[in-house]
């Protein structure tokens, strides 16, 4: 049984259009994802494709105008508000995306502690600061005094404690020096080896495939492919979806080949495959109906052309 199981998760926002008129904008549609204990699942994909929303939905910290359908199960039980309250900050930890999630008026050292901490966690955290080469003075700084990379390290050290069973890391590495990225990834890997489940949300594919078991690729609010990390190699021919291939081939070390166009927003009520207008394999059938997920070569894909 997976530790975390997300089924048919859809998220919509209620927005004001003109005056007091409101509309529902769907931003995520029928997303399925499962993570086992000791497993690292990376979610990569386009910026603004809803990767962070997934993290926020699991943590139960979406804004009040968001409507969720589908189910999120943790340890076999439905994850509801009451359950989350007792698990957040102890068994489930979030590494947020930016320093703006910290209180600007409290020194960072103090913010990293919660009232669930014991002496053991104190010394653990001290060890983490040393491993990330954060000097002791850093704990006494305010969030605005941290540089971009230092802030990331501080955020990563909030979650990497041994009592944690599920870590949701939202873009933990951008702007960090390669050595520190390696250190942070090693940290996640070690936690996974100790039985912790890690959901790594990132657009750094390189980093993702270095430690993840499975990689889910997100585009315009839906997961279009879940592939074993080893499929991201060579020219990307092992990948199942044209967008995953485009993403892989656009990396500076793999050709730096762009594709034209921009990601559509799901709220427009588009018919058919959301990638169709940028895809060189699109046929008329792609533009008529949304593709269902199919199992192909120990992976999952939403594309009729995938083999």
Residues that bind another protein (CB under 8 A): 44-49, 146-150, 152, 171, 174-180, 203, 205-206, 246-248, 250-253, 256-262
Instruction: With beta carbons less than 8 A apart as the criterion, state whether 214 and 41 touch.
Output: yes
Tokens at 247, concatenated: 């993403």
CA–CA gap between residue 273 and residue 285 (Å, rounded): 9
CA–CA gap between residue 245 and residue 287 (Å, rounded): 20
Closer residue to another protein, CB minimum distance, 152 or 214 = 152
DSSP-assigned states of every residue in 97-115: SSGGGS-TTS-HHHHH--T
Give, for 205, the enclosing helix (H) or strand (E): helix 205-211
Closer residue to another protein, CB minimum distance, 21 or 77 = 21
Closer residue to another protein, CB minimum distance, 39 or 171 = 171
CA–CA gap between residue 37 and residue 195 (Å, rounded): 5
- The least distance separating another protein from the CB of residue 245, rounded to whole angstroms, comes to 10
- The least distance separating another protein from the CB of residue 172, rounded to whole angstroms, comes to 13
- The least distance separating another protein from the CB of residue 117, rounded to whole angstroms, comes to 27
CA dist 291 to 26, 135, 223, 266, Å?
17, 51, 11, 14
Closer residue to another protein, CB minimum distance, 158 or 202 = 202
Residues of 22-32 as b/e, b for ≥16 C-beta within 10 angstroms?
eeebbbbbbbb
Closer residue to another protein, CB minimum distance, 8 or 145 = 145
Running DSSP on this structure, what letter comes out for residue 88? B
CA–CA gap between residue 203 and residue 66 (Å, rounded): 24
Closer residue to another protein, CB minimum distance, 72 or 154 = 154
Closer residue to another protein, CB minimum distance, 12 or 92 = 12
- The least distance separating another protein from the CB of residue 76, rounded to whole angstroms, comes to 34
- In the three-class reduction of DSSP (H, G, I as helix; E, B as strand; rest coil), residue 203 is classed as coil
- The least distance separating another protein from the CB of residue 115, rounded to whole angstroms, comes to 30
- The least distance separating another protein from the CB of residue 177, rounded to whole angstroms, comes to 4
CA-based nearest residue to 253, from 231, 234, 228, 280: 234
- The least distance separating another protein from the CB of residue 14, rounded to whole angstroms, comes to 15
């Amino acid at each position: 049984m997976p530790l975390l199981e997300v089924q048919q998760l859809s998220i919509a926002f209620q927005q004001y259009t003109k005056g007091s008129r409101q509309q529902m904008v769907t931003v995520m549609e029928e997303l399925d994802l499962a993570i086992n204990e000791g497993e690292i699942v990376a979610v990569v994909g386009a910026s603004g494709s809803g990767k962070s929303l997934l993290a926020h939905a699991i943590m139960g910290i979406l804004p009040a105008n968001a409507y969720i359908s589908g189910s999120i199960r943790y340890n076999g039980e439905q994850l509801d508000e009451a359950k989350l309250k007792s698990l957040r900050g102890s068994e489930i930890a979030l590494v947020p995306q930016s320093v703006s999630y910290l209180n600007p008026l409290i020194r960072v050292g103090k913010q990293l502690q919660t009232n669930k901490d014991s002496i053991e966690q104190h010394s653990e955290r001290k060890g983490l600061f040393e491993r990330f080469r954060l000097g002791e003075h850093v704990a006494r700084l305010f969030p605005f005094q941290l540089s971009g990379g230092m802030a990331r390290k501080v955020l990563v050290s909030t979650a990497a404690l041994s009592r944690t069973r599920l870590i949701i890391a939202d873009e933990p590495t951008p702007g960090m020096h390669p050595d520190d990225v390696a250190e942070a990834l090693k940290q996640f890997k070690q936690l996974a080896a100790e039985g912790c489940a890690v959901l790594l949300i990132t657009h750094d594919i390189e980093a993702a495939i270095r430690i993840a078991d499975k990689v889910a690729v997100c585009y315009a609010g839906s997961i279009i492919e879940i592939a074993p990390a080893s499929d991201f190699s060579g020219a990307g021919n092992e990948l199942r979806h044209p967008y995953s291939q485009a993403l892989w081939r656009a990396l500076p070390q793999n050709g730096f080949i762009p594709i034209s166009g921009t990601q559509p927003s799901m709220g427009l009520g588009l018919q058919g495959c959301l990638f169709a207008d940028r895809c060189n394999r699109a046929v008329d059938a792609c533009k008529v109906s949304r593709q269902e997920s199919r199992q192909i070569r120990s992976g999952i894909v939403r594309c009729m052309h995938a083999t």
